[in-house]
Amino acid sequence: MGSRYVPRTPNRFAPWQRLVHLVLAMAIASVAAVGVVAPSRAQMDWQQRSGSTINLLLISHPFVDALKPLLPEFTELTGIEVIYEELAEQPGFEKLLADLSSQTGTYDLFMTSPLNNWQYATAGWLEPLDAYLEDEALTDLEAYDLDDFAPGILASGRWTREPMQGVGEGPLWALPINFETYQLAYRPSIMKQLGLEVPETYAELLEIAPNLATEGPNGPIYGLITRFDKYWDLPYLTFGTMLQSYGVEMIDADGSLQICSPESIAATTDFLNLIHTASPEGAAAFTWDQAMQGFASGQYVMSFNEANLFAPVYEDPSQSAIADDVGYAPTPLGPDGERKAGAWVWSMSLNANSQDKEAAWLFLQWLTSKETMIKTHLDGNMNPVRQSAWEDPQVAALVENWGETPGQYREVAEEMAEVAAVRFPPHPELTRMLDRWAEAIQQSYFDNGNVEENLCAAQADIERMLGS
């Protein structure tokens, strides 16, 4: 764009003055030109990859149910066809592993989590996303508003790829879609009938545990239910919430394992006490779906440190017997008055071997944008990871009636969200170590050695795993 400035009085200025005017004019004109170009930075072309096709691997989740009807919108916006495969969690991750390890790039995008990504990133199977975010031709960063994401949750997708450290820094391997944290769920009518208050600390819970049982119309109602099988999610998520509230993190600031520490032993002993007192026999084999179903069928007074994502099922009269009699509370405080919680963040990552990364990125950007995310939340995708979504009046109205009192679910969720984080050392084989930890806890339930012995044996094994 050339300068259009033309001197109006050609003979009034000396030649050097004319030169200065010319230079000044060009300067002004270029600034004006830049000013006209600047607004177009916000208009990246959504149609730039029109005609391509992308393939998604999706893990069954209400998020996926909410996403499916929105896919035609994306195709209209971008001209990109979307095909997908939806699988349950176990087979889904198996299939994903088969594909990623063979590096064929069958799937361009897939659902994952920070825990899994520690392995995938180590293997080089993930595409770092920062370059795409910063590429103006591909991303409208203003509209996207990266700061709108809850900082801790977005940070869980970053990792430097150094074992045992660096979570929250380094390249961004995934963008979050929703997250889950943990809470107490209880039956208000039965609590009243038993004359009990919802416990605020673990000590209080242990006190009332022996009294947490009654007879229901269909048989006994047991005290509490939670998942408890020999699986990594026990110390990572549900019991993990209790551990962290006792001040136990798997690795402390000095890098030493805390599995066998006095606080960990105390937390485990209290947990086993709780289960022995308030849960029926066979409790040490409950999987997460049995924990949810058990509570929903009305056979338990309390659901302990279980996923707040189960709430929609509890609230649905066609799926639970307790829809009009359920309340939520934050998980109890630990002995030092601390409350911390685990978090599970469903995210989506880009396959490093994808044949069309730009098209895949366009999808990822569209999916995690404010508008699309709110639409999915309204259709059942919980919990929102963007602050703007929590503030959206429709989303707030959706969960208004969940719980004993209006707005209870949202209050508890927000409170838990403040203390929820992934407090584990990144390691490609972390699940194996956590499995070993869970095994020690389960052994202690079956009276197979005492708690301290089992935990210390597990710690020794895990140290060996870290060393190798």
Partner 1 sequence: MPSASRRSPSQFVLLGLAYAAVGFFILFPIAWIFLMSLKTFGDIIAYPPRFLFTPTLENYAEVLLGTPAERAAGQAPDFLRYLGNSLIISGGAVLLSTLIGIPAAFALARSRFRGAGNIRFTFLSFRFAPELSIILPLYLIYTQIGLYDSYPGMILVHQLITLPLIILITTGFFRDIPPEIEEAAALDGAGIWSMLARVIVPIAMPGIASAMIIAFIFSWNNLIFGLVLAGGATRPVTMGILQAMTFDQIRWGLMAASAMVAAVPGMLVAVWVQKHITRGLTLGAVK
Partner 2 sequence: MAAEWGESRGGAGFAPPLPNTSPSGERKFVRSGGLERRARATYLAMLAPALVLLLASLYPFLTGLYTGLTNKKLYLPDSEFIGLGNFQTLAATPLFWTALTNTLVYTALAVLIQIPLGMAIALLLDIPSRLQSFLRTALVLPLLIPPVVAGLMWKTMMQPQSGILNWLLAQVGLPPQLWLTDPATAMISVVLIDSWLFTPLATIILLAGLQSVPDDAIEAARIDGATAWPVFRDIRLPWLVPHIVLVALFRIADSLKAMEIIYATTRGGPLDATRTLHIMAYEEAYRWSNLGTAMAIVFVLWLICYLVSGTLLGLWQRQERSAYA
Tell me which residues touch partner 2 (CB under 8 A).
93-94, 97, 101, 119-120, 122-125, 222, 229-231, 280-282, 284-285, 290, 294, 297, 299, 428-429, 431-432, 435, 442-443, 446, 448
Pick from 241, 299, 305, 454 the residue near partner 1 by CB under 8 A.
299
Considering beta carbons, is residue 224 or 367 the nearer one to partner 2?
224
Structural tokens at position 288: 């997460």
Pick from 194, 196, 321, 378 the residue near partner 1 by CB under 8 A.
321
Considering beta carbons, is residue 53 or 290 the nearer one to partner 2?
290
Considering beta carbons, is residue 269 or 431 the nearer one to partner 2?
431
**Only segment of 168-176, 287-295, 370-378, 395-403 that touches partner 1 (CB under 8 A):** 287-295
Note every long-range contact of 270-274, with CB atoms under 8 Å and residues 24 or more positions apart, other chains counting. Answer: 270/202, 270/206, 270/242, 271/239, 271/242, 271/441, 272/441, 272/444, 272/445, 272/451, 273/206, 273/209, 274/205, 274/206, 274/209, 274/224, 274/304
Tell me how many residues contact partner 1 (CB under 8 A).
41
Verify binding: residue 73, partner 1, rule CB under 8 A. no
**Whole-angstrom distance, CA of residue 351 vs CA of residue 354:** 5
Verify binding: residue 318, partner 1, rule CB under 8 A. yes
Contact map string, positions 6 to 45, toward partner 1, x by CB under 8 A: ----------------------------------------
Considering beta carbons, is residue 290 or 369 the nearer one to partner 2?
290
Structural tokens at position 302: 């309390």
Pick from 164, 194, 313, 456 the residue near partner 1 by CB under 8 A.
313
Q: How far is the CB of 129 from partner 2 (least distance, A)?
A: 20
**Whole-angstrom distance, CA of residue 256 vs CA of residue 281:** 35
Structural tokens at position 265: 């032993």
Verify binding: residue 288, partner 1, rule CB under 8 A. yes
Considering beta carbons, is residue 30 or 319 the nearer one to partner 1?
319
Q: Is the dihedral of CA 438, 294, 303, 296 positive or negative?
A: positive
Please state the φ and ψ torsions of residue 307, each to the nearest 5 degrees.
-60, 135
Considering beta carbons, is residue 320 or 408 the nearer one to partner 1?
320
CB neighbours of residue 38 within 10 Å: 9
**Whole-angstrom distance, CA of residue 289 vs CA of residue 226:** 10
Verify binding: residue 296, partner 1, rule CB under 8 A. yes
Q: How far is the CB of 276 from partner 2 (least distance, A)?
A: 14
State the helix-helix crossing angle for 89-102 and 114-123, rounded to 10 degrees: 10
Interacting residues with partner 1 (CB under 8 A): 59-62, 65, 69, 83-91, 94-95, 98-99, 101-102, 104, 106, 218-219, 288-289, 292-293, 296-297, 299, 307, 309-310, 313, 317-321
